[in-house]
A and B are shown apart, each in its own frame.
Chain A
Amino acid sequence: MALRRREFVQTAVAGAALGAAGTVTAQEEPDYGGWFDDVSNYDGTVDKRGQDTVEIAVGAQGNNGAFAFAPPAVMVSPGTEVVWTWTGEGGGHNVVSDGDGPLDSGELVSEQGATYSYTFESEGMFKYVCEPHVGLGMKGAVVVRPGGGSSGGGTAQQGPPANPDYGGWFDDVSNYDGETLDRTGQDSVEIAVGAQGNNGAFAFDPPAVRVSPGTEVVFTWTGEGGGHNVVSDGDGPLDSGDPVAEAGTTYSYTFEETGIYKYVCEPHLSLGMKGAVVVGGPPGGSGGGGGGTQRLPVSGPRWLLTGSVLFAFFTPLLYAAAMRHRESTRPPQDLVGEDGTVPVEEATAADPAVELGHEEFDPTGTAALVAFYFVLIALLWVFMYFVEFLGRVSVIG
């Protein structure tokens, strides 16, 4: 369903951004028609769909020297900017479409760090070469194709493992019991700041929580234990600013990328006021064998489940009521015929009070109603056009 699809795209984007993009599956592997036969570093198409920009090295190792593009074959989403970056090795290179195509970086360039970029809007396969070294096999291709999914339920959904290794982070946190609370699949998750723990109100609760990518995590201050703040450990996105003591204060952050985010309360770090947010579900398969299968989606709406249970509960009662009613309307025994059935008869047709034939009947009332209807629709038309439509600001006005 579309919701899952959206979540899925989020995870796919997140996964790709972490650099976890895999190669496309065999079914999806484009047919290059022998284009890569003489390219030594070609090893399948790298799936980089879902990323805004994709980088390709010009003058990478390959083809018996620094005469390769890396990766040589890449798959991107429509609208992606592809940036070619020169390594500075292998002499002067350029990037030019094979045949009629949009790519042309112009003159040969050999400086390290030079770039050429092109944004691919339309779907298709774009082959390109380095003109001086095409004979050596310095060729590449960009395949623009929407989606980015079937390849890898496994890769894209991959987050930190089921029991993440926090590296001793929680050793001195008293309210961490070794469990990472699973809150995946929720839009927003709350964490209390200043909960009981670490010999006072110096804890986050829950200290460790797992959420889905795209989840908004809301830190809510309990107002106990003095001033607290929420700041990432080392280089991280969280920073609630100066310590605050008021109850009800909130700070929220939406985690888009998978990973483990450790954070602390600066004033009480030494007391053990530390926490972590794990973003992304654990990889599929219990042994972490890589080939993760997509979770079987059984998340039907709750009302359906509740309704079914209620319905199942009330069905016997309804049935009993129906049978009771049926019993009470049993026809009298004297009507039942020999074969056990009761004869059915229709109501008698009532005779009209006045018999009106073809000649005597003039439908004057119908004429009156028809006239009334035409007046009514004329008024409705006036209302629709002059009041409801012309009454508001029109484009011409």
Chain B
Amino acid sequence: MVFVDEYPKTSKLVRSEFIVAFVALGIGALFGIVQALHRTGMFRGFVSSADYYTLLTGHGVLLALVFTTFFIAGLFAWGVTNSLERELPQRIAWSAFWLMLTGTVLAAVAILGGVFGAPSVFGHDLEADVLFTFYAPMKAHPAFYVGAALIIVGSWIAGLAYFKALWAWRAENPGERIPLKTFMIVTTMLMWYISTIGVAVEVVVFLIPWSLGLISQVDPLLTRTLFWYFGHPVVYFWLMPAYLVWYTILPKLAGGRLFSDPLARIVFVLFLLLSTPVGFHHQYVDPGIPEGFKFIAMTNTMFLLLPSLLTAFTVVASVEHGARQRGGEGYFNWLRSLPWGEPAFAGCMLAGLMFAAGGFSGMINAGMNINYLIHNTLWVPGHFHLTVGTAFALTAMAISYWLVPQITGKKLQRRSVAIAQPYVWFVGMALMSNAMHRAGLAGIPRRTAEPTYDEFAFEGLVGTVAEMRLQIAIGGLLLFLGAVMFLAVMAETWLAHRGGRLSVNSDFPAPLSGPEHSPRILDNYKLWTAIALVLIVIAYGPPLASMLADGVTMPGSPPIPV
């Protein structure tokens, strides 16, 4: 039976989450192409350079916060329902949706207010040019911070729905192992609860009162630290759903079975333990944080490579199993017998391939010494366009080709466009990201509308700066085209008539090595959460204590612009 018929209520919830996610994707992609053409100097007629930051904020918030969170909420709702075989508690799940939507509208209105000339609303200029990282002392309209807080709180409530479903399932199935999808989702949410505390405190305790004028100053270093306490785990909040897709759906799309269920569980437990106590690696050049604290964060970050490398192995081995079952032979030739013409499969594989490159630049970022080479250069956006911009985004788009027919009961339309779309995205990202990385090595800064300076010219060693700019512009155009292709396929599928025979099915073959081969302790959430908290106290206790010791809002800064 198709998911939409079996679980009509949760299907409707998933559809609603996806619609918001896709609208955010469309607007964010539009802002993206405007920026790509602007900063490369190809076309600057859309906005003035002074408004570049408004669009940059919109691009970052709509894609990295709204698109991701709503898509993940939808995917998780499907995953819990599918693997526990029960509808989600509807009232909780829907209140989470409406809370997140309210937050999204508030934040989006605050950002778009800047595009329209920042009218004064409630005594504050309606604008939010503070970028996705919303560092103090840059100040946005209070609506932006309230919106961000509501999105976070909404995601907490969404997580509660998964826990309630799990508790109900446990009561009916005592002693059974938690199904893999639910295990992954609940582990991800535990990590999310622990890590979002940082940003919640930053926004609710400091930034909202400060933007309202209730407190005159905040300590920028403390609020930055609280942001990055959340800022790195949020990366794993994006990636772990992609991993969920790669572990549980991709092997079947390849025609094989998951290589190892226990390995998948170990990977997710490692993410729960290690995702959070690493945030200082985003602050290697921040003054006021002793080297030792940064060093702890670096070693944790290097440990954090392990689960991703384990994932690379397990997922590739599972896909290889599929290829062998399809009759593939040889050391590399088996790759040819994979279903590259399936949009869902091709998209996930290309996303994984890009992520391997993103893993490389991530290792460079994590190293305390070589981080100085590339800190705040265009290398960094080059890196995260491979991780969140491809590993997550392309996986999300690809799996939509497989999932949306099941939650709507409608056949995928424009299949040929869907087949081409992951390749368009891949080529576009390959051009844009490699040029961004190399431009970063040449010292070209990020977050800059016009990266040109008097009496100074950047020089690329291999290739020229003009060539890099051209690659970024062409890559950006292809990525925008890829987003439009995806949205067109989705829109037409949504508008199509319900019924008939879908081109996808939801059978999941059992893993080659099942959960019975793994120790039960892996399912002990209390233990892992406790260890995670201890690691956080070790990494964050002394630095936060020293930042608070000189006064909670001291040394402080009033809002900028004044």
Footprint of B on A, CB under 8 Å?
A: 1-6, 146-147, 296-301, 303-304, 322, 325-326, 329-331, 335-336, 341-350, 352-358, 361, 363-366, 368-370, 373, 377, 380-381, 383-385, 387-389, 391-392
Instruction: Tell whether, in the assembled complex, residue B5 and residue A1 are in contact, meaning their CB atoms are under 8 Å apart.
Output: no
Residue of B nearest to A150 (CB): B562
Contact with A along B315-326 (1 / 0, CB 8 A): 011001101111
B313 with A370: CB separation less than 8 A: yes
**Given A5-B561, A353-B325, A355-B325; A370-B312 close (CB under 8 Å):** yes
State whether A301 touches B115 (Cβ < 8 A).
yes
Is there a chain A Cβ closer than 8 Å to B176's Cβ?
no
Q: Is the CB of A344 within 8 A of B317?
A: no
Interface 0/1 of B464-486, CB less than 8 Å to A: 00000000000000000000000
Contacts of B228 in A (CB 8 A): none
A356 touches B54 (CB 8 A): no
Q: Name the residue of chain A whose CB is nearest to the CB of B459.
A: A392
Within B489-542, the residues touching A (CB, 8 Å) are 491-492, 495-507, 512-513
List B contacts of A385 (CB < 8 A).
370
List the A residue with the shortest CB-CB distance to B46: A303
By a CB distance below 8 angstroms, the chain A residues around B51 are: 1-3, 301
Closest to A301 in B: B47
**A-chain residues with CB within 8 Å of residue B502 when the two chains form the complex:** 344-347
Q: Which residues of A contact B491 (CB under 8 A)?
A: 322
Can you list, as one digit per residue, whether each of B101-114 has a CB less than 8 Å from chain A (1) or not (0)?
00000000000001
Which residue in chain A gives the minimum CB-CB distance to B337? A353
Residue of B nearest to A355 (CB): B325
Q: Is the CB of A343 within 8 A of B499?
A: yes
Residue in contact with B461 in the complex, picked from A6, A147, A358, A388, CB distance below 8 Å: A388
Interface centre among A297, A301, A364 (most CB of B within 10 A): A301
Q: Which of B2, B118, B324, B328 contacts A4 (CB 8 A)?
A: B118
In contact, B117 and A4 (Cβ under 8 angstroms): yes
**A325 contacts which chain B residues (CB < 8 A)?**
492, 495
Contact A329 B497 (CB under 8 A): yes
A387 CA to B441 CA, complexed, in Å: 10
- Decide if B116 is an interface residue (CB 8 Å cutoff): yes
Which residues from chain A contact B115 at a C-beta distance below 8 Å?
300-301, 304
Asked if B316 and A366 sit within 8 Å, CB to CB, the answer is: yes
Q: List 5 A-B contacts (CB under 8 A).
A: A344-B409, A347-B501, A347-B505, A353-B326, A366-B317
Q: Which residues on the A side are within 8 Å of B317 (C-beta)?
A: 363, 366
Q: Does the CB pair B505–A346 fall under 8 Å?
A: yes
Closest to A330 in B: B497
Q: Distance (Å) between the CB of A292 and the closest chain B CB?
A: 16
Lowest 7 A-B CB distances belong to which pairs? Answer: A342-B499, A297-B117, A352-B325, A2-B50, A3-B50, A363-B317, A346-B505
Q: Which of B355-402 contact A (CB under 8 A)?
A: 356, 359-360, 363-364, 370, 373
Asked whether B197 is an interface residue with its Cβ less than 8 Å from the other chain, the reply is no
Q: Please state if A345 and B501 are interface contacts (CB–CB under 8 Å).
A: yes
Among A303, A365, A380, A381, contact of B320 (Cβ-Cβ < 8 Å): A365
- Report yes or no: B462 in contact with A365, Cβ–Cβ below 8 A: no
Give, as a whole number of angstroms, the nearest-CB distance from B458 to chain A.
10
Residues of A within 8 A of B320 (CB): 363, 365-366
Is the pair B562, A146 in contact by a Cβ cutoff of 8 Å?
yes
A-B contact count (CB 8 A): 169
Q: Are B4 and A356 in contact (CB under 8 A)?
A: no
**Is B330 engaged at the interface, CB distance under 8 Å to the other chain?**
yes
Please state if A298 and B116 are interface contacts (CB–CB under 8 Å). Answer: yes
- The smallest beta-carbon distance between B108 and chain A, in angstroms, is 15
**Bound state CA distance, A322 and B119, in angstroms?**
37
Which residues of the partner chain A approach B316 to less than 8 Å between Cβ atoms?
A: 363, 365-366, 369-370
Chain B residues whose C-beta falls within 8 Å of the C-beta of A3 in the assembled complex: 48, 50-51
- Beta-carbon contact of A1 and B118 below 8 Å: yes
What residue of chain A has the Cβ atom nearest to residue B505's Cβ? Answer: A346
Q: Kindly state the separation between the CA atoms of A5 and B507 in the bound complex, as whole angstroms.
A: 59
| 8 Å CB contact of B498 from A1, A342, A366 | A342
The answer to whether B50 and A6 touch across the interface, beta carbons within 8 angstroms, is: yes
Instruction: Determine whether B255 belongs to the interface, using a CB cutoff of 8 Å to chain A.
Output: yes
User: Which residues of B sit under 8 angstroms from A363, Cβ to Cβ?
Assistant: 259, 316-317, 320-321
The answer to whether A326 and B325 have CB atoms under 8 Å apart is no
- Give min CB distance, A357 to chain B, whole Å: 7
Contacts of A370 in B (CB 8 A): 312-313, 316
A382 to chain B, nearest CB (A): 12
A380 to B334, CA, bound (A): 26
B326 touches A388 (CB 8 A): no
CA distance A5 to B48 in the complex (A): 13
Q: Which of B359, B495, B505 is A326 in contact with, Cβ under 8 Å? A: B495
**Interchain CA distance A98-B496 in the complex, whole Å:** 80
Residues from chain A with a CB closer than 8 A to the CB of B312 are: 370, 373
Q: How far is the CA of A146 from the CA of B558 in the complex (A)?
A: 11
Kindly list chain B residues whose C-beta atoms are within 8 Å of the C-beta of A1. Answer: 50-51, 54, 114, 117-118, 127, 129
Q: Which residues of B contact A146 (CB under 8 A)?
A: 562
A340–chain B nearest beta-carbon distance, Å: 10
Residues from chain B with Cβ under 8 Å of A364 in the complex: 331
Q: Could you tell me if B503 and A347 are in contact, using CB atoms closer than 8 angstroms?
A: yes
Complex Cα distance, B119 from A329, in Å, reads 47
Q: How far is the CB of B306 from chain A (nearest CB, A)?
A: 14
Q: Which residue from B332, B356, B496, B503 sits with its C-beta under 8 Å from A329? A: B496
Would B512 and A331 count as touching, CB distance under 8 A? no
Query: B54 contacts which chain A residues (CB < 8 A)?
Result: 1
Decide if A368 touches B495 in the complex (CB within 8 Å).
no
Nearest A-chain residue to B47, judged by Cβ: A301
Are A300 and B324 CB-contacts (below 8 A) given A1-B127, A330-B497, A373-B356? no
Please determine whether A389 and B373 come into contact, CB atoms closer than 8 angstroms.
Answer: yes
Q: How distant is the Cα of A2 from the Cα of B48 in the complex, in angstroms?
A: 10
B309-357 with Cβ < 8 A to chain A: 312-313, 316-317, 320-321, 323-328, 330-332, 334-335, 356
User: Is the pair A349, B321 in contact by a Cβ cutoff of 8 Å?
Assistant: no
Chain A minimum-CB-distance residue to B325: A352
Q: Do A331 and B499 touch across chains, with their CB atoms under 8 A apart? A: yes
Q: How far is the CA of A364 from the CA of B335 in the complex (A)?
A: 12
Q: With A346-B504, A363-B259 known to touch, is A368 a contact of B331 (CB < 8 Å)?
A: yes
B175 CB-CB contact with A under 8 Å: no
Asked whether B288 is an interface residue with its Cβ less than 8 Å from the other chain, the reply is no
Q: How near does chain B come to A78, taking the closest CB pair, in angstroms?
A: 11
Interchain CB contact (< 8 A) of B504 among A347, A369, A391: A347
Which single member of B313, B328, B500 contacts A366 (CB below 8 Å)?
B313
A335 touches B500 (CB 8 A): yes
B508 closest partner in A (C-beta): A349
Additional pairs, 10, CB under 8 Å, beyond known A356-B321, A361-B321, A366-B316: A146-B562, A322-B491, A325-B495, A344-B5, A344-B500, A347-B503, A373-B312, A377-B363, A387-B462, A389-B441
Question: A303-B46, A325-B492, A370-B312 are known contacts. Are A342 and B117 too (CB-CB below 8 A)?
Answer: no
Contacts of B496 in A (CB 8 A): 326, 329
Residue of A nearest to B331 (CB): A368
C-alpha spacing A322/B255, complex, angstroms: 35
Q: Which residues of A contact B327 (CB under 8 A)?
A: 353-354
B265 at the interface (CB under 8 A from A): no
